[in-house]
Structure 1
Amino acid sequence: MAKDHNNVVEMVRQSPPVDTTEPYDPAWVAGKTIIITGGASGFGAGFAKKWALNGANVFVADVNREKGKELVEEMRKESGSEHHHFVYCDVTNWQSQVDLFRTAIKLSPHGGIDAVVANAGITDVGSTVDDPKGLDVKEPPEPVFKTIDVNIIGVLYTTHLAMFWLPRNDKSTKPSPSKLPPGPYTRDRHILLIGSIASLCPIPHQIQYGTSKHAVLGLFRSLRSSSFIHGVRVNLLCPYFIDTPIIPAAGRLLLAGGAMGKPEDVVDAGTRLMADSRIAGRALAIGPKVMIDDEWQLVPQNTKGGKEVAVWEAYADDFVEVDAFTRRFVGMLNSVERTRGWIGWAIDVAKAALYPLGLLK
């Protein structure tokens, strides 16, 4: 059969599908210099600690000086390395990000940057787009789009600077889909974008957040098909609601009866993408750990042929089956809620009430 030179699937330049059951070695991050924006807390802090323990040189960038410095001190003690640094950075400020990258180049043990994680992000802050308040005023108030500034403009600044500096690391290597494992001390050119399940599915009343995370998905899908020109691999994480203190009591009440993902599964998925330099142009969604069959139907534990998963590929075949992932993922979550029933709902409501009192962590 003659090759179709206009095949957009091939033009995307993805590596083969990610087998999340295949083992990988976190130590493959050893020697890499990695910048993490919003790295002082949440997923960013989880990535930073994990990668520092496995030999990476980590730059934690954040607006929270106290948390950032405390985290880096902890990383230095636990890893035994002084090559971890906190750099104050307001991602919405271009010069602040420029200074971050220049500092990383200056302090990097090998004088270059191997990977950048555009992790800084916030939930809906500022004007509520769908709130009808203020209809009796003559002039509409100017909206506050802080979430857009952080989650879109900040991410674009980070990506722009990453695309400038990563190819200039003369010790880095271009991504290869070789079946051979990367091994330790493999230089890299990698941008890891942090989206959300809101990149794929709408969340009511989270207009700015949903818009911004759809934008991150659009950035990923566009960038992965052109970044290969400069030898830069681009990957994406799309976490579902993850069981962390960032979810307020109201959010927990909304989710009561369902299930949430675990932070360690997000860190593991991010570490796989960061460590395995063969993976390019792939997106991983992280949700609750469940046992499913080949049709994404929930099955009891230890079911023959079933597999326990918390990480799925999203948009793996999006040029072929655009909505297949979303349909299957939402169907699986609905099955979780039905299985947990009223008991699961009651437990989640109790937890939501106890969280503001500091009785649960």
Structure 2
Amino acid sequence: MEDYQAEKPNVLQSPPLDITVPYDAAWVNHKVILITGGASGFGAGFVRQWTKHGATVVVGDVNVQKGDALCREINGASQSSGKAHFVHCDVTDWQSQVNLFKEAVKLSPHGGIDCVAANAGIAGNDVLQQGVNLDAAEPPPPDFKIMDVNLTGVLYTTHLACFWLPKNPGSSPCSIDAKPSASSPRDRHLLLLGSVASLGPITVQPQYCAAKHAVLGLFRTLRVTSGLQGIRVNLLCPYFIDTPIVTTGARFVLAGGALGKVEDVVDAGTRFVSDSRILGRALVVGPKVHVRQKESGEWELVTPGAPNSIETAVFEPYADDWEDQDQWNRTFVKLLNMVQAGRGWMGWAQDIVKATLYSFGVGR
């Protein structure tokens, strides 16, 4: 691992994941986890799983009825040290998120936050391509709530996480050499929720797709820069999962295929949250299948029990391609730096003069 990290000094990333290697969910014991959008869907699945293994989970959601009922149910039936606390939060409202984080710190047994899961998201009818009466004198602005929740809300969560996670008492900067355990759980972890829409287009959902592409870009950027604060950042990219976010219309479109299961998303997310050695990785979660990987890297569907096959719902996208992309980026930046070096101080001086003249309107 040390050699791998030495080759990528500017990227806070651990080696590609082997999802066949088991992890210990008990490593979430005593962690304090803040999750947005945790009242339903696989968000609620996360809350149940993490509290089951001893975590304190602060659930922020706009749905008071579902969020409060979930936490009451968990706390009433829990036989572990885990607790769930509900705090009303509208992720599109900045002050609402500020209040959520402050309340999470107050509710934390040790006064800090170990993990932030930016899970809140919505889908639905997208009005982007459905203009009505836009030729009016003063047409009203469109409702871009899908973008507001799935991107602006995530940016608010990320901004606050970057402030609060490094302040977590007893935590230290993340490292691929970390030794996760239930007795020493302090962490600084941001888990972003992307989608298969982060990796490819989704028909008639331009806002959702644009937002999830942006979350992918956010992940890749933070993976490079979050080392300054010692925060590890990971990304989940679920396929269409059997939850209420998949509308009836979408289910008709997807008929004949297969939806992913909540428990597989929860399992992948728990791997990220519990294992503090995982830095800068992403996992796609889809339907559970029996597959075998060819020498080319492509997957083929096989019958159960076929030689060298596995049954899985979890795949790591671009484990190598992203490295190639980052290498291309570094090569391009080196090329730009060589251009700058070739032009020297004289080129710098010329540009300064041009910029000064431009500020006075010359050359515009």
TM-score, structure 2 as length reference: 0.82
Change (3 A) 1:172 1:166: same
- Aligned match of 2:302 in 299, 303, 306? 299
Q: C-alpha separation between the residues in 2 aligned to 1:208 and 1:180?
A: 40
Which secondary structure state, in structure 2, belongs to the residue aligned with residue 66 of structure 1?
Answer: helix
Which secondary structure state, in structure 2, belongs to the residue aligned with residue 205 of structure 1?
Answer: coil
Q: How many angstroms does 1:317 deviate by? A: 2.5
Which secondary structure state, in structure 2, belongs to the residue aligned with residue 58 of structure 1?
Answer: strand
Q: How many angstroms does 1:249 deviate by? A: 2.0
The root-mean-square deviation of aligned C-alpha atoms, in Å, is: 2.1
Counterpart check, 1:314 vs 2:313: no
Check whether the contact 1:83–1:108 (CA below 8 A) recurs between aligned residues. Answer: no
Counterpart check, 1:84 vs 2:87: no
The letter of the residue matching 1:212 is A
Check whether the contact 1:83–1:109 (CA below 8 A) recurs between aligned residues. Answer: no
TM-score, structure 1 as length reference: 0.83
Between structure 1 and structure 2, the one with the greater Rg is 2
Q: Could you say which residue in structure 1 is the equivalent of 2:158?
A: 159
Q: C-alpha separation between the residues in 1 aligned to 2:203 and 2:38?
A: 28
Which secondary structure state, in structure 2, belongs to the residue aligned with residue 84 of structure 1?
Answer: strand
The letter of the residue matching 1:196 is S
Q: C-alpha separation between the residues in 1 aligned to 2:48 and 2:110?
A: 21
Unpaired runs of 5+ residues, structure 2, are: 326-364
Change (3 A) 1:234 1:111: same
Check whether the contact 1:124–1:208 (CA below 8 A) recurs between aligned residues. Answer: no
Q: Could you say which residue in structure 1 is the equivalent of 2:45?
A: 46
Deviations 1:91-110 (A, max 9, x none): 11111111111111111100
Q: Could you say which residue in structure 1 is the equivalent of 2:103?
A: 103
Check whether the contact 1:36–1:116 (CA below 8 A) recurs between aligned residues. Answer: yes
Q: C-alpha separation between the residues in 1 aligned to 2:271 and 2:323?
A: 25
Q: How many angstroms does 1:162 deviate by? A: 0.6
Unpaired runs of 5+ residues, structure 1, are: 323-361
Change (3 A) 1:47 1:143: same
The count of corresponding residues between Structure 1 and Structure 2 is 317
Q: C-alpha separation between the residues in 2 aligned to 1:137 and 1:205?
A: 25
Q: Could you say which residue in structure 2 is the equivalent of 1:278?
A: 277
The letter of the residue matching 2:107 is L
Q: Could you say which residue in structure 2 is the equivalent of 1:237?
A: 236
Q: C-alpha separation between the residues in 2 aligned to 1:83 and 1:244?
A: 24
Q: C-alpha separation between the residues in 1 aligned to 2:243 and 2:121?
A: 15
Q: C-alpha separation between the residues in 1 aligned to 2:88 and 2:180?
A: 35
Q: Could you say which residue in structure 1 is the equivalent of 2:266?
A: 267
Deviations 1:168-214 (A, max 9, x none): 11211322212855454320000000010000010111011001111
Counterparts of residues 1-361 of structure 1 (less than 5 Å):
9-80=8-79, 81=81, 83-125=83-125, 128-131=127-130, 133-134=132-133, 137=136, 140-178=139-177, 180-294=179-293, 295-321=298-324
The letter of the residue matching 2:108 is S
Q: C-alpha separation between the residues in 1 aligned to 2:245 and 2:152?
A: 22
The letter of the residue matching 1:291 is H
- Aligned identity (percent) is 58
Change (3 A) 1:40 1:207: same
Q: C-alpha separation between the residues in 2 aligned to 1:319 and 1:47?
A: 27
Which secondary structure state, in structure 2, belongs to the residue aligned with residue 34 of structure 1?
Answer: strand
Q: C-alpha separation between the residues in 2 aligned to 1:102 and 1:262?
A: 33
The letter of the residue matching 1:298 is L
Q: How many angstroms does 1:260 deviate by? A: 1.4
Check whether the contact 1:39–1:45 (CA below 8 A) recurs between aligned residues. Answer: yes
Check whether the contact 1:128–1:207 (CA below 8 A) recurs between aligned residues. Answer: no
